[in-house]
Amino acid sequence: MANVLVVEDDDGVRRLLCRALKAEGYAVLEATNAEDGLEVAARECPDLVITDLNLPGMGGDILIRMLRKLPDRPLVVAMSGVRAALALVVKEADGTLSKPIDLDELDSVLGEVLGRGGGR
């Protein structure tokens, strides 16, 4: 199974995602802001990063661009409660999730993204 990094500042959403991912057998890392997420991604080389776009400090859109520059570039799924925000990053991200999180949508998006990217 893939290693997944969840970057989300909302504790409830982050816990929900991490719990759902672990239940599906994914190895899960987590960060509460983009700066920490970038550091974890550079150190741990996850296969996939799921990031909120609305993060304190550096936004998720900038995080996505920074992740693209890593030597072991992870796949990225962007999430937001604002569909217009998702539309802005659709070319940068490998997939998108809308909030509130729907676990069936999460499963579908991960299957599509990881199937297309093949993991590592």
pLDDT class for 119, splitting at 50, 70, 90? very low
Confidence of residue 117 (pLDDT cuts 50, 70, 90): low
Q: Which two tokens stand for residue 9?
A: 């500042």
Angle between the N-to-C axes of helices 103-117 and 11-23, in degrees from 0 to 180, rounded to the nearest 10:
60
The CA distance from 70 to 86, in Å, is 22
Q: Parallel, antiparallel, or unpaired: how do β-strands 95-98 and 3-7 relate?
A: unpaired
53 touches 60 (CB < 8 A): yes
With cut-offs at 50, 70 and 90, classify the pLDDT of residue 82: confident
Q: Which domains does the chain have, with CATH numbers?
A: 3-112 (3.40.50.2300)
Q: How far, in Å, are 18, 71, 100 from residue 112 at the CA level?
A: 19, 23, 20
pLDDT score at 1: 81
pLDDT per residue over 16-46, tens digit each? 999 999 999 999 999 999 999 999 999 999 9
Q: Give the neighbor-by-neighbor strand order of the sheet with 75-80.
A: 27-31, 3-7, 48-52, 75-80, 95-98
Single pTM value for the model: 0.91
Residues 79-108 have a mean pLDDT of 88
The token pair that represents 89 in the structure block: 């990053």
